[in-house]
């Protein structure tokens, strides 16, 4: 098991280096002179020269890269020329907002998707099987922006049970200052205010359900296919012959042995949610990383783009690394083989 962990860590290192190179080159991939892009069209040659010297853009490319690695290792992502604020400061609010939304959407997708997939596999060609396949088809086919507008119209406009957008009611802002950027945690543990927590959760519900539609569909289909194959195995028939209850056969013997592909699908979808929440965050005015990227692209703000790409890619790699390492805990055969 230890050798497997070491091999996975060593295999992750080149990917992290590659991600750092790609994020570094984003500044140089912008059309034209990087200094001119950062300062705008009205910048003078003197301004451009001063910026090149200050940012080290007049140095060889490899020197700039090592300076960039040194800066990000200290948590310094530069300044946004759009707001003149340190990117690290802005990310402290943006990244937790996206993580909070992605975790909520992934919890919904995992619970609903796995449940539908298991029910469909246990009762093939039944109503539950039809519901699972129909949900998968609708979830994959329905554009997120269209589903978001429909959800806003129905639940916020017609029924008036959920808010249209944002993370909090405007009336709560003067008395609520988030320390961590995670509104649910701050409302529950820092302020210990049930009304504030309910306000946060009601704002989180609609975008989380909209964002969860595609993962629900994919997780349900993978769960159904994996469970159908697992329930045909000999050890399932043996468990039934020994008198195990139907729930024990399905959950303890079936689902447990089908967990690896399901867990892989969940981890992959969580990585996609971190970078793919752009439309959802835009529709619901969610001040997260996806909307931060859109705002940076609009004005060709390179530093926020570099930091956002780096954070999303590194998070995706680390999530998949942890998922891979968890396989040895789920499947004892991997520990015995020393995989």
pLDDT in tens, 50-103: 878 877 778 888 888 998 899 898 988 988 878 888 999 999 889 999 999 999
3-state secondary structure of 191: coil
CA-CA distance, 262 to 239, in Å (whole number)? 22
Please state the pTM of the whole predicted model.
0.87
Under the banding of pLDDT at 50, 70 and 90, the label for residue 226 is very high
- The residue-averaged pLDDT of 307-315 equals 89
Phi and psi dihedrals of 85, rounded to 5? Answer: -110, 150
49's tokens: 């020269």
Q: Which domains does the chain have, with CATH numbers?
A: 2-73 (no CATH), 92-337 (1.10.3720.10)
CA-CA distance, 229 to 257, in Å (whole number)? 10
Under the banding of pLDDT at 50, 70 and 90, the label for residue 155 is very high
How remote is the C-alpha of 132 from its chain's centroid?
24
DSSP state of 175: G
**Percent above pLDDT 70 for the chain:** 93
């Amino acid at each position: 098991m230890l050798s497997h962990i070491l091999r996975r860590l060593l295999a992750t290192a080149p990917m992290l280096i590659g991600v750092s190179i790609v994020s570094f080159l984003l500044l140089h991939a912008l059309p034209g002179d990087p200094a001119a892009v950062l300062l705008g069209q009205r910048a003078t040659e003197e301004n451009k020269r001063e910026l090149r010297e200050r940012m080290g853009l007049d140095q060889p490319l490899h020197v700039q890269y090592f300076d960039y690695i040194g800066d990000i290792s200290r948590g310094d992502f530069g300044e946004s020329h759009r707001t003149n604020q340190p990117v690290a400061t802005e990310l402290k609010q943006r990244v937790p907002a996206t993580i909070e939304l992605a975790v909520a959407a992934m919890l919904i997708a995992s619970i609903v998707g796995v449940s539908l997939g298991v029910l469909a596999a246990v009762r093939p060609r039944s109503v539950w099987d039809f519901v699972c396949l129909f949900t998968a088809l609708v979830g994959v086919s329905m554009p997120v922006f269209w589903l978001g507008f429909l959800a806003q119209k129905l639940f916020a406009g017609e029924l008036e049970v959920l808010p249209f957008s944002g993370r909090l009611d405007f009336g709560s802002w003067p008395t609520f200052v988030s320390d961590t950027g995670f509104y649910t945690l701050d409302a529950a543990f820092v302020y210990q205010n049930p009304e504030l927590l309910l306000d946060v959760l009601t704002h989180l519900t609609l975008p989380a359900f909209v964002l969860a539609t595609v993962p629900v569909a994919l997780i349900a289909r993978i769960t159904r296919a994996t469970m159908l194959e697992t329930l045909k195995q000999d050890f399932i028939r043996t468990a039934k012959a020994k008198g195990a209850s139907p729930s024990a056969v399905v959950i303890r013997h079936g689902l447990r042995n089908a967990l690896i592909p399901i867990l892989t699908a969940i981890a992959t979808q969580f990585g996609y949610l971190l970078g793919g929440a752009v439309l959802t965050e835009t529709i619901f005015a969610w001040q997260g990383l996806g909307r931060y990227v859109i705002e940076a692209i609009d004005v060709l703000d390179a530093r926020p783009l570099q930091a956002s790409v780096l954070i999303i890619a590194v998070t995706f790699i680390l999530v998949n690394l942890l998922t891979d390492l968890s396989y040895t805990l789920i499947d004892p055969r991997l520990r015995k083989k020393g995989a």
